[in-house]
Every structure is written in C-alpha cells, then in structure tokens.
Chains A and B, each alone.
Chain A
Amino acid sequence: EDQVTQSPEALRLQEGESSSLNCSYTVSGLRGLFWYRQDPGKGPEFLFTLYSAGEEKEKERLKATLTKKESFLHITAPKPEDSATYLCAVQARKGNTGKLIFGQGTTLQVKP
C-alpha cells in the first residue's frame, strides 16, 4: 500500500535556528514527490516537485532533497513568516491517474 509519513508532527524553532523536516514514503514506483506549504485557513500552496533520487531544489530559505525512501525539507535560518504546515505528497506510477497521496504534515512555528 502506498503510504507517506511525515515527522515530526510539530516543530518549534527560534528565528535563525536551522532544521529539517522528514517525509518517508513507500510507493509502487515513484512518479513524483511534492512539497506544499499550508497557512491556517488557506489551501495548500505548491513549493517543489522532485522526480528522482539525488535531486535537490531550492527556494529562498527552503531546500528539498530526495532519496529512494525519503525526502527532507531543510529550512535555513528560518523567519517567523516561515511558520506554516508543510505537506509532503507522492504520485505513484501505477494507474497514472495523477492522484497524490499526502502525509499528515509538519506544523512549523518559528518564534522571533
């Protein structure tokens, strides 16, 4: 069964304190791994797509990496405005329906 697990569930950081969020997945053939940011009361906002092990993508203070079993979202010197829930999702090759399977999310709070 395709599955996505994110850890930790919640993370509190001081401004400037770098850390990483984890997304572990089991999927029958990975077609793509997606990271989204979700602010309270809003819909998920797309951040990155990773397709193959070893791939990395960056956007401002965020860097996403991918291995064959997990992905990390590294946050360097975070600011309070980085506070949000970060969602990881995978798309499997099987069926080719475009469906995404989501993890439960990591809620990040960055204190000034």
Chain B
Amino acid sequence: NAGVTQTPKFQVLKTGQSMTLQCAQDMNHNSMYWYRQDPGMGLRLIYYSASEGTTDKGEVPNGYNVSRLNKREFSLRLESAAPSQTSVYFCASREGQGLGNTIYFGEGSWLTVV
C-alpha cells in the first residue's frame, strides 16, 4: 500500500538548472497538492489540482509550474532554480474537498539549490 510516492528523495541543483519533482498516488484521489516546508514558515501551498485536468495557484507559486498528467500523477517543475527554492517539498492527495476527506502526504523531497 504505497499511498503517495515522491521522487527524487534528495536533489542538489545549481542555480539556473531545471528539474521536475514527480508525485504519484494509488488511492484514486481526485485532488492533489504540492507544499513546501521551510524552518519557521510551516507548510505553504505552491499549487494544487482539485481534479484531473485542473490546476490552480496556491500561496507561493512563483518560480514553479505544475502538470496534472492524469488522475494519479501531479508533477512540480522548477524552470530556473534559485537558492530561495531550497526547501523540503511535499506532495499530498485527497479524495475530494468534502468533509471527512483526509489529506495524505508523501515522504518529502529534499532540494538544495547552490
């Protein structure tokens, strides 16, 4: 029972490089999210996809793009990485926005931009 799977677990990038964080869930959930977690800042929403075929900006979308490839997969792309994007990234999924729907998180992706 994998739940939410993120790859890679760790990545070091040079400033200006691009990369894509991959996320897949096997719970047949409709909604998927990307959060970043920084010391003292808590978890902040980058982008989300309420359902397959839709994506919307969250609290801190600048410098990122997303793709909801299908119902299972939701990727996060950094086009030109900056040191300010050094963070831990979490993908999450949820059956829907209704009451009682728990949000489940992946194990995280540690990204360092030098």
A and B interact physically: yes
Measuring CB to CB, which residues of chain A are less than 8 angstroms from any residue of chain B? 4, 31-32, 34, 36, 41-46, 49, 51, 87, 89, 91, 96-100, 102-105
Which residues from chain A contact B96 at a C-beta distance below 8 Å?
A: 98
- The main secondary structure of chain B at its interface with chain A is strand
24 examples of A-B residue contacts, CB within 8 angstroms: A4-B42, A34-B103, A41-B108, A43-B4, A43-B90, A43-B105, A44-B43, A44-B90, A44-B105, A46-B102, A46-B104, A51-B99, A91-B97, A97-B48, A97-B97, A98-B48, A98-B94, A98-B97, A98-B103, A99-B48, A100-B45, A102-B42, A102-B44, A103-B42
Inside 8 A of A36's CB, which chain B residues have their CB?
105
Chain B residues contacting A100 (CB-CB under 8 Å) are 43, 45, 103
Count of B interface residues, CB-CB < 8 Å = 29
Q: How far is the CA of A96 from the CA of B56 in the complex (A)?
A: 13
How many pairs of residues, A versus B, come closer than 8 Å at their CB atoms? 59
CB distance from B95 to the nearest CB of A (A): 9
Determine the distance from Cα of A85 to Cα of B4 in the docked complex, in whole angstroms. 20
Residues of B within 8 A of A (CB): 4, 31, 33, 35, 40-45, 48, 50, 56, 58, 90, 92, 94, 96-97, 99-108
